[in-house]
Amino acid sequence: MEHTEYDARARWSQPLRVAGRRVTKQRLAILECATSHPHSTADELHRHARLALPGIALGTVHTVVNDLAESGLLRRLDVPHTGARYETRITDHHHAVCTQCGLVEDVALPHTQPACLDPTIVRGMKITVAEVLYHGLCASCAGSLD
């Protein structure tokens, strides 16, 4: 548990440099929190990162998270009724959201590329990412009578 800082540095230094970004303890902490707590909002990342880095500012989290999403190190998820959410698992999965409690789950699709996710299906735009968002009730919300 004391190796976290070291591990984060080992894991993210290279990708950060490749993206032309500096390796700061704030960025390492945010990347680490986004890995251990996927689908976190900026505020949640801030709360988690503060445990390891008490001085980190919420504004910094927003700035960093925007920057890292733009440079491809973070994936951004826009979920109804909550702020943006972030994760370090970038590819090969989609998301299901509970319309009642807001729970987000990862959804992996069969490995054969579905035709509807082929970028060329959209005419007149250069599509680079196609993602599926499922809306419904999670197990516990579906169980609760209402």
Q: Closer to DNA by CB, 45 or 138: give it.
A: 45
105: enclosing H helix or E strand: strand 104-107
Judge contact between 97 and 79, C-beta under 8 A: yes
> How far apart are CB 5 and its own copies at their closest, in Å?
31
Q: Closer to its own copies by CB, 43 or 131: give it.
A: 131
22 binds DNA (CB under 7 A): yes
Query: Binding partner of residue 25 among DNA, its own copies, none, CB under 5 to 8 Å per kind?
Result: DNA
Q: Which of 52, 58, 130, 133 binds DNA (CB under 7 A)?
A: 58
Non-local CB neighbours of 82 within 8 Å, separated by 6+ positions: 41, 102
Which two three-digit tokens encode residue 124? 């007149």
Judge contact between 69 and 108, C-beta under 8 A: no
Q: Closer to DNA by CB, 82 or 117: give it.
A: 82
129 binds its own copies (CB under 8 A): yes
Burial group, residue 73, by CB count within 10 angstroms (0-12, 13-18, 19+): buried
DSSP annotation of 41 reads E
Q: Which of 47, 62, 93, 94 binds DNA (CB under 7 A)?
A: 62
N- to C-terminal Cα separation, the chain: 42
Q: Closer to its own copies by CB, 7 or 70: give it.
A: 70
> How far is 109 from 112, CA to CA, in rounded Å?
8
Site string for its own copies, 77-106 (x = CB under 8 A): -xxx---x-----------x-xx-----x-
Residues engaged in binding its own copies (CB under 8 A): 76, 78-80, 84, 96, 98-99, 105, 107, 109-110, 114-117, 119, 121-122, 124-139, 142
